[in-house]
A and B are shown apart, each in its own frame.
Chain A
Amino acid sequence: MCLAVPGKIVEIEENDGLQMAKVDFGGIFREACLDYVPEAKVGDYCVIHVGFAISLLSEKEAMETLDLLKQITNFEEELGPEPGAAPA
């Protein structure tokens, strides 16, 4: 129910007093209301839930988290297989 999907804003226009965007979900386009993320602009990625943007995604934070997790995985590769593990 609280499922929300990241999408990219491709157009913004006003409709019935609401800021409405055309949002690209990897090639599928839906309408979403931007009133809760008034700072959003065309090209930004937002988390969209039932036709509303609820959060503007931070690329900086996203990259930092991914880098951190990649370090964990590389750490494992550097250590090599566990002692006693069967050769691959």
Chain B
Amino acid sequence: MKYVTEYRDAALVKGVIEEIRRTVTRSWTIMEICGGQTHAIVRHGIDQLLPPEIELVHGPGCPVCVTPLELIDKALEIASRPDVIFCSYGDMLRVPGSSRDLFSVKAQGGDVRVVYSPLDAVKLAKANPDKQVVFFAIGFETTAPPNVMSAMQAKRLGLENYSILVSHVRVPPAVAAILGSPTNRVQGFLLAGHVCAVMGYHEYPPLVEQFNTPMVVTGFEPLDIVQGILETVRLLEAGNVEVFNAYQRAVTLEGNIPAQKMIDTVFMEVDRKWRGIGTIPMSGWDLRPEFDQFNAEKRFQVETITADESPLCIAGQILQGMKKPHDCSAFGNECKPEHPLGATMVSSEGACAAYYRYARVKP
């Protein structure tokens, strides 16, 4: 058991798709919430192998995409300071703020570094006591345990030159916002497997009941994704409104308790603005006041910046499953991965970027 190749078996994937075909009797619209799954679905062509009754719409689960423009502008301002080493996951470097991106800050002499893990940023802080090291802590629940551990570790080591710029978002409030919208068309959800590995899936039964929508915890390999779709279709066809865990090798109902405890020690729930969607109440995390010394927004006193999105961009409607990338007139024209107009084109996990890369045109 290697936990990878077994889940890329073409014959098994085909067999499960055949079972979906046998099970489905009418049209269903299913949303995968996670950008990693969006990318995998389009990359492996799963959307094109499914029976025509199944429509997959793509959710807002790409943290790079939904990080608000204002926060990127704050990151750019902090990263431009001569005393700062600004650390980020690689996929944030290309994301444009109002007028430039982190790459151009680096080109103009800013010390911007890509790190694999937030602990690498802590190491940099330890090795460079005369510099301020700032880590751009973005992500969903999956990335929260690593990001909070970096603040905790800086505290343990007594580092006074480490801080994090936080833009953390949570899945359940986004699911509630999508299902509660009067224009909602999502009938079933594929829940993000790695978010559930951390948080468990006990937060979802109340949402399933409130919105009468079945949900299936789903992994990331092609076989995991088709299995998640099959279980969702089975629930929909049988009229069973419940949560099913199709990623049992990695996910339990209660999730990772040590990780949840650490998140709760360092973070508190706050309102968050989602790029392309707007503010969703209590949909994010920020540092608790006890961790103010590690809060880059407080340490650097960056002013509140307001920024406007392109009027052409329909990312907000795409992120809520109301439209598809090829419904946008700017898609592939004014808006491309090299010069994205909005949220869903900025990261490779955004629906527009995935459609562009794998040449999905309007059917």
A residues near B (Cβ < 8 Å) are 1-6, 16-18, 26, 30-31, 33, 35-38, 45, 47, 49-52, 54-55, 57-59, 61-66, 69-70, 72-73, 75-76
- Per the bound structure, the CA–CA distance linking A75 and B142 in Å amounts to 37
- Answer whether residue B1 sits at the interface, using C-beta atoms and an 8 A cutoff: yes
- Answer whether residue B149 sits at the interface, using C-beta atoms and an 8 A cutoff: yes
Closest residue of chain A to B196, judged by CB? A55
Q: What residues on A are CB-neighbors of B356 within 8 Å?
A: none
Structural contact, B139 and A1, CB atoms closer than 8 A: yes
Are A2 and B143 CB-contacts (below 8 A) given A54-B198, A65-B227?
yes
Q: How far is the CB of A70 from chain B (nearest CB, A)?
A: 7
- Answer whether residue B145 sits at the interface, using C-beta atoms and an 8 A cutoff: yes
Q: How far is the CB of A44 from chain B (nearest CB, A)?
A: 11
- Per the bound structure, the CA–CA distance linking A49 and B89 in Å amounts to 12
Q: What residues on B are CB-neighbors of A36 within 8 Å?
A: 145, 149, 256, 258-259, 262
- Per the bound structure, the CA–CA distance linking A55 and B194 in Å amounts to 9
Chain B stretch 315-363: residues in CB contact (< 8 A) with chain A: 347, 349
Structural contact, B63 and A1, CB atoms closer than 8 A: yes
Interface string of B121-145 (1 = CB under 8 A from A): 0000000000000000011101101
Structural contact, A73 and B16, CB atoms closer than 8 A: yes
- Per the bound structure, the CA–CA distance linking A54 and B197 in Å amounts to 7
Closest residue of chain A to B40, judged by CB? A3
- Per the bound structure, the CA–CA distance linking A78 and B118 in Å amounts to 51
Chain B stretch 76-115: residues in CB contact (< 8 A) with chain A: 89, 91
Q: What residues on A are CB-neighbors of B248 within 8 Å?
A: 58, 61, 64-65
Structural contact, B149 and A49, CB atoms closer than 8 A: no
Chain B stretch 148-163: residues in CB contact (< 8 A) with chain A: 149, 153, 156-157
Most chain A beta-carbon neighbours within 10 Å: one of B2, B34, B117: B117
Interface string of B246-283 (1 = CB under 8 A from A): 10111100001011001000000000000000000000
Partner of A49 from the list B143, B157, B246, B258 (CB cut-off 8 Å) is B143
B residues near A (Cβ < 8 Å) are 1-4, 6, 11-12, 14-16, 18-19, 34-36, 61-64, 89, 91, 116-120, 138-140, 142-143, 145-146, 149, 153, 156-157, 192, 194-195, 197-198, 220, 223, 227, 246, 248-251, 256, 258-259, 262, 347, 349
Interchain residue pairs with CB less than 8 A apart (28): A1-B140, A1-B347, A2-B34, A2-B63, A3-B194, A3-B220, A4-B194, A4-B220, A16-B157, A18-B119, A18-B153, A30-B116, A33-B146, A38-B258, A50-B146, A51-B118, A51-B119, A51-B146, A52-B149, A54-B256, A57-B249, A65-B246, A65-B248, A69-B16, A69-B223, A69-B227, A70-B12, A72-B19
Q: What residues on A are CB-neighbors of B2 within 8 Å?
A: 6, 26
Are A4 and B142 CB-contacts (below 8 A) given A50-B118, A55-B197?
yes
Closest residue of chain B to A31, judged by CB? B117
Partner of A1 from the list B11, B12, B36, B246 (CB cut-off 8 Å) is B36
- Per the bound structure, the CA–CA distance linking A70 and B6 in Å amounts to 11
Structural contact, A54 and B249, CB atoms closer than 8 A: no
Q: What residues on B are CB-neighbors of A62 within 8 Å?
A: 1, 3, 6, 249
Most chain A beta-carbon neighbours within 10 Å: one of B16, B142, B258: B142
Closest residue of chain A to B246, judged by CB? A65
